[in-house]
A and B are shown apart, each in its own frame.
Chain A
């Protein structure tokens, strides 16, 4: 069962889809880990137990903090989102895709037969089995969250939407089953193309898939259009997780929550906030309007 209210982390990392200037200001505000953990503390104490954490550079510090303070957060559970593509972007630009993959894997797996699989004949592992490569990368990212309770592991939209365009069913199926088997959690998919993604995942045979996408009155980051989103929410069997409900501030909070909650199939909302007041206000609104 996915939690109804999930606390998002974009604001901590200087991500704001509305304004690059605001994003930079947020990044300055949260450059100190204490500023982030203070907000996590406030959110937890307000009753939010679920946190979506992107696997970026700061995630390691945040998870170290959560492990060290596990008694402070007994009911905490995480919804990791991976991979954080910007982490790899510069290395890919510098060295190319395969060198990046190889170095990332080698840096992490210094022992065992992995090393032989990768070094033998250059790209032999890549040519042989990209699914295995995906599993190794998932394992590397999942180390960040070790010993913490994980409910759903999300594939980030940069990767999931790219692979959606490729139509690579095998990868989606393999990701889904690997997360279940190895991590005893469920796989989720973040997307900017929810209607297409839902149809595709159902085609893949993934039953009742978990799909996290923007759902807002402004139609912002909802492709191809808001009508297709509304129709999919009404007609398709999947577990929608709504994000960007405020459309980065374009929709006032009460209106935003009312809009999301009029869709009965939505049982989970992700939101991020950077002050006590906004956390409490938004959480109260969701609880007032949504009949979970």
Chain B
């Protein structure tokens, strides 16, 4: 049995716990969180050790891996400590808040020998997996440009409490919605060369942006338009929309379905000339326990499978997620040049974040 520890027990931590607690090869040993209320509830209802300091938890619990779902500004520090202690690491997205922090982790030789994954869950969604396969197999020809969009009604008033309303702690639409859109672009097409025309706007939030748009430009001239708005009340829940244009046709996809338009029929893929549609029921693959969407289970089972040497590849490793970190930093910088974000010290905070600076939470000792 693999011994698991959880660091951060908010909405994502709880979801991950439910999924892994029921995994036949995993024993959840310990949970670390800053909320003593949460810990005392766990103590009462669940058989698990509890900690408020992740270092103490790691030192005392002889774990095999950790699941980190803390506010993003603490990711780098906790990941580093876990790697130093020879633990496999799953960390929620975004990977870190600066390229410098990410580079530090990637240059640590330990990360090469341990299993690492970032919670870019779209990479485990059946529709997006299928879209990637179709693009890789050249069904729509050479990709010329894409739209990677995400909308939702996550923020509909100025939230001053909690980490999500503040850029410094890793809140804001860039690290949240836009990271998913950029990750889908990286997943499909790899690392863009540069970004242009970036805009970050506040709609409700005083401490962060609610809308991000940007153009990612690839070496071969291909572009990806990023458009995200987490204050769009017309959406019942957060929704990704991906449109990929190629020389032979185009694909329009969301998490539940994709449509593909082809200029000519593709008998090999059983696709007609014109529009073809595939829905999730045609593509869906069941999981051992469905909690909030089967991609959440698939991503964690993949992570555990890799630790157990049962699955190969590296679908959402640190090195992949780092590419998105680079793009996010490029966008923030580009947007600050465009004077589009009303936060004047954005650049200084991004690039001058000292390694000695304490993250807001989980730094107690």
Contacts and interface: CB of A to CB of B under 8 A. Distances in A.
Interface of A: 13-21, 23-24, 27, 86, 89-90, 92-99, 122-123, 126-127, 130, 158, 161-168, 170, 192-193, 196, 218-226, 247-250
Contact of A127 (B10, B15, B37, B46): B37
Interface in B258-294: 279-282, 284, 286-292, 294
Contacts of B292: 158, 161-162
19 contacts: A17-B280, A19-B254, A24-B235, A92-B11, A93-B11, A94-B159, A95-B162, A96-B35, A161-B290, A162-B15, A162-B292, A165-B17, A167-B22, A193-B289, A196-B289, A224-B287, A248-B279, A249-B279, A250-B282
A57 to B, nearest CB: 10
Interface residues of B, number: 50
B109 interface: no
Given A164-B289, A168-B45, A97 B162 contact: no
A166 B10 contact: no
Contact of A221 (B254, B279, B290): B290
B294 to A, nearest CB: 7
A263 B104 CA distance: 58
Given A165-B22, A192-B290, A127 B164 contact: no
Nearest to A224: B288
Contacts of A224: 286-289
A98 B37 contact: yes
A223 B19 CA distance: 13
A75 B241 CA distance: 44
B286 A17 contact: no
B103 interface: no
Contacts of B37: 98, 122-123, 126-127
B14 interface: yes
B23 to A, nearest CB: 9
A255 to B, nearest CB: 13
B236 A23 contact: yes
A172 B63 CA distance: 31
B154 interface: yes
A95 B281 contact: no
A19 B279 contact: yes
A93 B11 CA distance: 8
Contacts of A24: 234-235
Question: Would you list the 10 A-B pairs with minimal beta carbon distance, nearest first?
Answer: A165-B18, A123-B37, A250-B281, A192-B290, A220-B281, A19-B257, A20-B254, A223-B290, A94-B159, A247-B281
A105 B19 CA distance: 28
Interface string B228-245: 000000111101010000
B239 A20 contact: yes
Nearest to A85: B292
A90 B289 contact: no
Given A94-B162, A97-B10, A98-B37, A161 B154 contact: no
B61 interface: no
A102 to B, nearest CB: 10
Contacts of A15: 236
Given A221-B284, A250-B281, 20 more contacts: A17-B280, A18-B257, A19-B256, A20-B254, A20-B257, A23-B236, A23-B256, A90-B153, A93-B154, A94-B161, A95-B161, A161-B18, A161-B291, A162-B291, A164-B22, A193-B289, A193-B290, A223-B288, A224-B287, A249-B279
A144 B254 CA distance: 34
B40 interface: yes
A97 B291 contact: no
Nearest to A161: B291
A218 B287 contact: no
Interface string B1-33: 000000000110011011101100000000000
A163 B291 CA distance: 9
B362 to A, nearest CB: 15
B165 interface: yes
* Residue picked from B17, B254, B256, most chain A C-beta under 10 Å: B256
A218 B290 contact: no
B154 A170 contact: no
A97 B284 contact: no
Most chain A CB within 10 A, of B17, B22, B294, is at B22
B114 interface: no
Contacts of A130: 41, 44-45
B112 to A, nearest CB: 32
A20 B11 contact: no
A221 B126 CA distance: 13
A212 to B, nearest CB: 14
B156 interface: yes
B255 interface: yes
B281 A248 contact: yes
A272 to B, nearest CB: 16
Contact of A27 (B11, B45, B154, B236): B236
